Chains A and B, each alone.
Chain A
Amino acid sequence: MTTAVEAIHDEPLTIGGHTFTSRLMVGTGKYPDMDTMVRAIEASGAEVVTVAVRRVNLDRSKESSVLHFLDPKKIFLLANTAGCYTAADAIRYARLAREAGFNDFVKLEVIGDEETLLPDVAGLLEAAKVLVQEGFKVLAYTNEDLVTALRLEDAGCAAVMPLASPIGSGLGLLNPFSVRTIKRRLHVPVIVDAGVGTASDACVTMEQGVDGILMNTAIAAAQDPVAMAHAMRMATIAGRAAFLAGRMPRREVAMPSSPTKGMLD
C-alpha cells in the first residue's frame, strides 16, 4: 500500500528527536487475542505502539506480558500512564516504564473523571513539568483546549495529544476547529489521541493538518480488527494527503463543472 504515498511530498514526523514515517500510532489493549493484535499492528503500518504498565500476574506471568508478542526492535514502544488519577501516580508509572529500558518517551495521562476519562489538566501540567525535568520525552494526552495545549508546550512536552472525543467512545472528531487551532498555534507535533471510531474519522482528523493520530479501540473493537487496521492506515494517509493537497474552498451555492457554453438550442 505504498503506491499512493509516492505522490505525497511530506516531511517525516519527528518527535523528541525520533523520526517516524507512519503518522498512525496504535494501542495494544482490548484485542480479542494476541494473534489478532499482532496482525492488526502489522496491517496498520504503525511504528509507535502504546503499552500500559501493570502488576505482573504472579501465577501466570509468562503469558500476560505484551512483549511476548511484540518485537521492540521492530516497533517503538510508547508506555502510557493510563489509569492514573494524580500527578504523583502518573510520575511513578512513567519512572517504572522508563526503567524497562526501551526509551524515555511516555504518553502522559492524568485522568480527572471516571465517566468521561477526561484529563485533569492541573495534574497533567504538574506531572509534565516534573517528567520533562527528569529527561522524559513527554507526549501529553489532553483535551482540545488551546490554553492547556500551550501550557504543555511551554512545560517542554515533546508532543501534545488532544482528544478527538472521549477515550473508547468512537464518536470521532467532535471539535475540528479547536484541534485546528491547537495545531496552528503549537510548534511541537500535535497528535490526536482517542475518540476515532472508523476510517472516515481518521481521515477527517488528519485533514485538519495534525501531525498524527493515535487509536486503540477503533481497531481492537472492530468486528475485523486486522481489516480495520488496514482501513485506518489508508485513511490516515488519505487525510494527510488531502491536507497537503489543500482542499477547494467551500461555497454556499453550486457551480457547474461542465461548460455552460456550447449547449444545444
Chain B
Amino acid sequence: MDVVINGEQKQIRGGTLLDVLAELELDPRAVVVEHNRKIVRRVGLADVTVTEGDAIELVHFVGGG
C-alpha cells in the first residue's frame, strides 16, 4: 500500500506500525512514531494498523544546540 513516511511516498506491505518499523529495519526503541499527526507510544505500536494514504513521521535525536 502507499503511505507517506517522513514526507516521502513509500510502498509498504502494511500491517501495524510495529510491522512498518520492522519492514524499514528500524528499532522501535530508537524512534518516536507519529501517525497522522498523533504520537503513538512505543507500547501501542502493535495496536495501530496502517491504512492507505496514512502519514507517518519517524523521528529521533540528532546533534543540535
- With a CB–CB cut-off of 8 A, which chain B residues contact A29? 63-65
- With a CB–CB cut-off of 8 A, which chain B residues contact A96? 32, 34, 39, 57, 59
Rounded to whole angstroms, the CA-CA distance of A223 and B5 in the bound complex is 38
Secondary structure class of chain A's binding surface, majority of residues: mixed
- Which residue from chain B places its CB closest to the CB of A56 in the assembled complex? B58
Is there an interface contact between B26 and A61, defined as CB atoms closer than 8 Å? yes
Rounded to whole angstroms, the CA-CA distance of A64 and B27 in the bound complex is 13
Beyond A61-B26, A95-B39, whether A51 also contacts B34 by CB under 8 A is: no
A-B contact count (CB 8 A): 100
Is there an interface contact between B64 and A56, defined as CB atoms closer than 8 Å? no
Taking a contact as CB atoms closer than 8 A, the residue among B24, B30, B65 that contacts A65 in the complex is B30
Q: How many residues of A contact B (CB 8 A)?
A: 36
Beyond A56-B26, A67-B30, whether A50 also contacts B64 by CB under 8 A is: yes
- Which residue from chain A places its CB closest to the CB of B24 in the assembled complex? A58
Beyond A58-B8, A95-B39, whether A51 also contacts B26 by CB under 8 A is: no
Chain B, interface residues (CB within 8 Å), range: 20 to 34
Rounded to whole angstroms, the CA-CA distance of A58 and B10 in the bound complex is 11
Residue A165 is within 8 A (CB to CB) of chain B in the complex: no
Q: When each residue 7-33 of chain B gets 1 if its CB lies under 8 Å from chain A and 0 otherwise, what string results? A: 110100000000000001110001110
Tell me the B residues contacting A by CB distance below 8 Å. Answer: 5-8, 10, 24-26, 30-32, 34, 39, 41-42, 57-65
Q: Which 6 A-B pairs have the closest CB atoms?
A: A52-B64, A27-B65, A216-B65, A28-B63, A51-B61, A29-B63
Tell me the A residues contacting B by CB distance below 8 Å. Answer: 27-31, 37, 50-56, 58, 61, 64-67, 77, 79-80, 82, 95-97, 99-101, 167-168, 194, 214-217
